[in-house]
């Protein structure tokens, strides 16, 4: 795997993550896996092996950031849903008491 293809995948992963495009992230994940498999098979020298390890460490960090980002959004959504539910209960309570 050359640096140029890594750069392209990294930019694509970043873009898809920023846009919350989970389908594109899934597709990119498949491409990354295939590229890794090809790179592992094609690695013949110690230098290539070291470059592959460095690439995989960077890739692991990218995936970690994607997961952290999705968890952050999930937590934000849960918080907003709790607020909405609380507000809805308050409105219902007010309506019930005003009808009496």
- Per-domain residue ranges for the chain? 3-99
Fold exhibited by the domain 3-99: Methane Monooxygenase Hydroxylase; Chain G, domain 1 (1.20.58)
pTM of the complete model beyond 0.85:
no
52: closest CA among 64, 66, 38, 62? Answer: 38
CA distance linking residue 20 with residue 75, whole number of Å? 15
Q: How many CA atoms lie within 13 A of 7 on its CB side?
A: 3
pLDDT < 50 positions in the chain? none
Write the CB contacts of 15 (distance below 8 Å, at least 6 apart in sequence): 21
- Kindly report, residue by residue over 68-90, the tens digit of the pLDDT: 777 777 777 678 778 878 877 77
Q: Is 5 strand, coil or helix?
A: helix
Task: Report d(CA 76, CA 68) in Å as an integer.
Answer: 12
């Amino acid at each position: 795997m050359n640096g140029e293809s890594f750069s392209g995948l990294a930019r694509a992963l970043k873009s898809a993550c920023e846009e919350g495009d989970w389908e594109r992230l899934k597709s990119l994940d498949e491409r990354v896996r295939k590229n890794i498999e090809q790179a592992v098979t094609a690695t013949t020298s110690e230098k290539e092996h070291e470059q592959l390890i460095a690439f995989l460490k960077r890739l692991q960090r990218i995936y970690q950031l994607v997961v952290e980002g999705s968890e952050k959004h999930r937590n934000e959504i849960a918080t907003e849903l709790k607020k909405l539910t609380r507000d809805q209960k308050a409105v219902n309570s007010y309506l019930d008491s005003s009808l009496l």
